[in-house]
Structure 1
Amino acid sequence: MKTITYLKGDATNPKTEGNKIITHICNDIGGWGKGFVLAISKRWKKPENEYRKWFQNSANFTLGETQMVQVENDLWVCNMIGQHKTISNSKRISPIRYEAVEQCLNKLSDEALKLNASVHMPRIGCGLAGGKWEEIEPIIERTLLKNNVEVYVYDFE
């Protein structure tokens, strides 16, 4: 089975050859404005615009769903709804939903195989979503790696 390749650097600027998919976690309330999405929006407007349209117009804007947005000839951004709402200060309940992340990564796995693409991401779900990498990493193994998808995880410096 493949293993995750850990790199230092910017997940919005993958350096590998061939088709690439940058993936990240979105919330289920249409919010886009904090965390990794800001780095995406700095490079391309389309992922945010498509996410907002999806939120406004779609019955399938729910946990576990994904949206593929082509931003360059060989590059896509995958918006994955794996977070329920956002952290509220009163309850401090992490908004990450691991089951939804797993559903998203299964869908992403199919897309990556269709496009013959590698997948690039920050440590998804571990920032504002409040998730733990010890929970996310095995999900990546059960979904993407099990299907022989090349996975790169970036730690921003």
Structure 2
Amino acid sequence: MGSEIRYLRGDATSPQAKGPKVIAHVCNDLGGWGKGFVLALSRRWPEPEAAYRRWHRERARNDFGLGAVQLVQVAPDTWVANMVGQRGIRTSRSAGVPVRYEAINTALGRLADLVLPLGASVHLPRIGCGLAGGRWERVEPLVTARLTDQGIPVTVYDHD
């Protein structure tokens, strides 16, 4: 049994922890980067957006797709995990929500495999619950099962 998720007020792009850190967030499967949490990431580091756009552009030759994870190093002890957990983007209220819980679950499992060898903690906003339209009460158990139950420390940030 792992530890509990830690909740903090603050900015997930400046993780509050010692040692190696991975900032994880959910991307869509269309190659779109331009709204929500990704803007805060891009204000700090150009690499995650550039890597995501290249990953999408070259998707015929790589694993890009729902459930995939791309780890991008942005500092000696800090990485950003681009997790594809959103099908398309929300264009209208009637269209339903883009979040895909199965894809987030798969991505979190892959994230754990990448994070454990680094000995890193994971830092995230309430993934899938902003523009993707998901509900935290469905995402939180996935984070617990895939990360904290594996012994990975997780901090969730609620922006003021």
What interval of TM-score do these two structures reach, taking the shorter chain for normalisation?
A: over 0.9
Report deviation, 1:15.
2.0
Classify the secondary structure of the residue corresponding to 2:33.
Answer: coil
Name the structure 1 match of 2:98.
95
TM-score (normalizing by structure 2): 0.96
Q: Does 1:13 align with 2:17?
A: no
Report deviation, 1:13.
0.1
Name the structure 2 match of 1:22.
23
Classify the secondary structure of the residue corresponding to 1:91.
Answer: helix
1:71-111 Cα deviation digits (max 9, x unpaired) = 00000000000000001216331000000000000011111
Aligned-CA RMSD value: 0.8
Rounded Cα–Cα distance in structure 2 between residues aligned with 1:90 and 1:115: 40
Report deviation, 1:45.
0.3
**Count of aligned residue pairs for this structure pair:** 157
Rounded Cα–Cα distance in structure 2 between residues aligned with 1:153 and 1:146: 15
1:13-63 Cα deviation digits (max 9, x unpaired) = 012100000000000000000000000000000000000000001232110
Rounded Cα–Cα distance in structure 1 between residues aligned with 2:88 and 2:59: 17
Name the structure 2 match of 1:69.
72
Name the structure 2 match of 1:122.
125
Rounded Cα–Cα distance in structure 2 between residues aligned with 1:143 and 1:21: 15
Classify the secondary structure of the residue corresponding to 1:14.
Answer: coil
Where does structure 1 differ by over 2 angstroms across 4 or more consecutive aligned residues?
Answer: none
Name the structure 2 match of 1:109.
112
What is the percent sequence identity of the aligned residues? Answer: 52
Rounded Cα–Cα distance in structure 2 between residues aligned with 1:25 and 1:79: 6
Classify the secondary structure of the residue corresponding to 1:76.
Answer: strand
Report deviation, 1:141.
1.0
Contiguous gaps of at least 5 residues in structure 1: none
Name the structure 1 match of 2:35.
34
